[in-house]
Amino acid sequence: MIIGRLKPSRLNLKSKAEIAAMRHAGTLASQCLHELLAAVKPGVTTQDLDDLQMAFARKHNVIPAPLGYKGYPKSICTSINEVICHGIPSAKEVLRQGDIICVDVTLIVDGFHADNAATIGVGEVDPIGQRLMEVTLESLRRAIETVSPTARLGDIGHAIQSCVEPEGFSVVRDFVGHGVGKAFHEPPHVQHFGQSGMGQRLREGMTFTIEPMINEGTWRAKVLEDGWTAVTTDGMRSAQYEHTIAVTGNGVSILTVQNDEGAWEPPGRCLDL
């Protein structure tokens, strides 16, 4: 979930103890996301998913970070079809066969944030929609593989762009990944497009999200009158996947997974995260 622009400031490099705390938060955020994805089916409303998230938060005594953040009214974001990000759950919004939906979950656990998202089909999805999800997920994998203390932010964006654009899809420019920790949004900006070898050098202890938003058509976006919901300007579909990661001494650790190795974890009916 990305809102507005970050003010330039010093990086908040995390200690090993802080990263361990963020991994605990990430484990719960991943578990919550997987439970919500498992509930996706025709006839379910996006408010139903928000209610499930609130039940999870109460059960585990954690805080849904989006709720009340800059006035956002719900605990998760639910972005269907042409919605790129920040879709607001509603009892009037009913999932239909063939839709694609991105569910974005951020939890605060013992003061630390963990942010993750995934897109899933509602029942059977047409081949182009399925390919859009597959390519978006692959772009996230390739981006994560570039992360190390010798890499630069531009390497991340380049990996995503070079994966997506040959497939005929486009990379959203208006929303970016972000640093995360005790604050929801910290430096740095993590653009999902760019040039290899350019941009800020990564450093051990950096923690941030990578969350490519990939469109079926144009990359251009507009925000609706509610001030939150961002949609494609051509009405074509968008997909997104997201992990919170930490830069380690020799590479990268994925914090929003349900094991200790930082490996990709299969979330049931969703594409493998």
Residue 261 counted as domain residue: no
Q: How many domains would you assign to the chain?
A: 1
Residue 45 counted as domain residue: yes
Supply the DSSP symbol for 166: G
Say whether 186 sits in a helix, a strand or coil.
strand
| The pLDDT value given to residue 261 | 43
Residue 246 counted as domain residue: yes
The string of pLDDT tens digits covering residues 161-185 is 999 999 999 999 999 999 999 999 9
CA distance 214 to 228: 18
Write down the pTM of the prediction: 0.92
The domain that holds 124 is classified in CATH as 3.90.230.10
Residues with Cβ within 8 Å of 166's Cβ and at least 6 positions away in sequence, in order, are: none
CA distance 263 to 196: 25
CA distance 131 to 133: 5
Q: Which domain holds residue 134?
A: 16-253
Helix (H) or strand (E) holding 109: strand 100-109
Q: Please identify which residue in the block is written with the tokens 């290899």.
A: 196
Torsion-angle region of residue 15: left (phi > 0), alpha (psi -120 to 50) or beta? beta
Between 7 and 268, residue with greater pLDDT: 7
The string of pLDDT tens digits covering residues 5-56 is 444 457 889 999 999 999 999 999 999 999 999 999 999 999 999 999 999 9
